[in-house]
């Protein structure tokens, strides 16, 4: 199968609370950065869409777009989406955003507690699946990541179904592992079960193996 295009997303999104505070997560953008640079060797027309990644993870010799929020990431993907596209969602989009943005910095009060009303962001992969149906595209393939702190295989397989994925790349995350520089172990899972396991490798090596795996599966 020949893809005309690929889209790789990377890093965290930010949801602003007031002018100085935001909701985000610990994703650095490292995995997406290595994947996009590896994938371009196979699919030259690969677009890189990233959130607030570290400066060094913005480097890419191809079309790239920086976004801030989850809604912006979704819109950037929908703009780039065509038939015959492979999408690899390595980003960690914020799942919630504040219901209201407060124009001026929120001040402390004498109250002990402060509550923030959050609303759920759309699920990007699930929205893309719906859009593929609406646009009557025949061949869009989606690869997701599952960052879990527990029940890895079970949660990952559930996400394959819910988000309409071909494969999910599953790993454990926590304060010491998964995000950032650390070595990592991942499993590539499909609805048929575990396809391959990659143990204790750098994210660069993992990315090479992920792209090799996909190339083998889709090219044959």
Instruction: Clarify whether 25 is annotated catalytic.
Output: yes
Which C-beta is closer to ligand CTP: that of 45 or that of 129?
Answer: 129
Asked whether position 87 contacts ligand CTP by CB under 6 A, the answer is no
Report the b/e string of 62-89 with b at 16+ CB within 10 A.
eebbebebbbbbbebbeebbeeebbbbb
Q: How far is the CB of 117 from ligand CTP (least distance, A)?
A: 18
Long-range pairs for 205-213 at CB < 8 Å and ≥24 separation? Answer: 206/31, 206/34, 207/31, 207/34, 207/35, 207/37, 207/38, 208/34, 208/38, 210/35, 210/38, 210/169, 210/186, 211/35, 211/38, 211/39, 211/41, 211/42, 213/188
Asked whether position 147 contacts ligand CTP by CB under 6 A, the answer is yes
Asked whether position 70 contacts ligand CTP by CB under 6 A, the answer is yes
Residues numbered 105 to 144 that lie near ligand CTP (CB under 6 A) are 121, 123-125, 144
Which C-beta is closer to ligand CTP: that of 70 or that of 207?
Answer: 70
Which C-beta is closer to ligand CTP: that of 109 or that of 209?
Answer: 209
Query: What is the contact surface with ligand CTP in residues (CB under 6 A)?
Result: 70, 89, 91, 93, 95, 121, 123-125, 144-147, 159, 163
């Amino acid at each position: 199968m020949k893809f005309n295009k690929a889209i790789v997303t990377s890093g965290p999104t930010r949801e602003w609370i007031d002018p100085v505070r935001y909701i985000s997560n610990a994703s650095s953008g490292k995995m997406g950065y290595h994947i996009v640079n590896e994938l371009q060797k196979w699919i030259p027309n690969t677009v890189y869409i990233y959130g607030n990644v570290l400066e060094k993870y913005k480097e890419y010799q191809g079309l790239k777009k920086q976004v801030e929020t989850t809604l912006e990431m979704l819109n950037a993907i929908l703009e780039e989406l065509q038939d015959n596209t492979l999408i690899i969602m390595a980003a960690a989009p914020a799942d919630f955003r504040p219901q209201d943005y407060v124009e001026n910095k929120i001040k402390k009060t004498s109250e002990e507690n402060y509550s923030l009303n959050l609303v759920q962001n759309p699920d990007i992969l699930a929205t893309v699946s719906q859009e593929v149906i609406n646009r009557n595209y025949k061949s869009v393939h989606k690869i997701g990541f599952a960052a879990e702190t527990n029940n890895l295989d079970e949660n990952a397989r559930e996400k394959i179904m819910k988000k309409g994925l071909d494969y999910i790349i599953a790993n454990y995350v926590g304060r010491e592992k998964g995000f950032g520089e650390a070595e990592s172990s991942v499993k590539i899972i499909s609805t048929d079960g575990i396809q391959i396991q990659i143990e204790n490798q750098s994210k660069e090596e993992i990315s090479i193996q992920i792209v090799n795996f996909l190339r083998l599966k889709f090219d044959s």
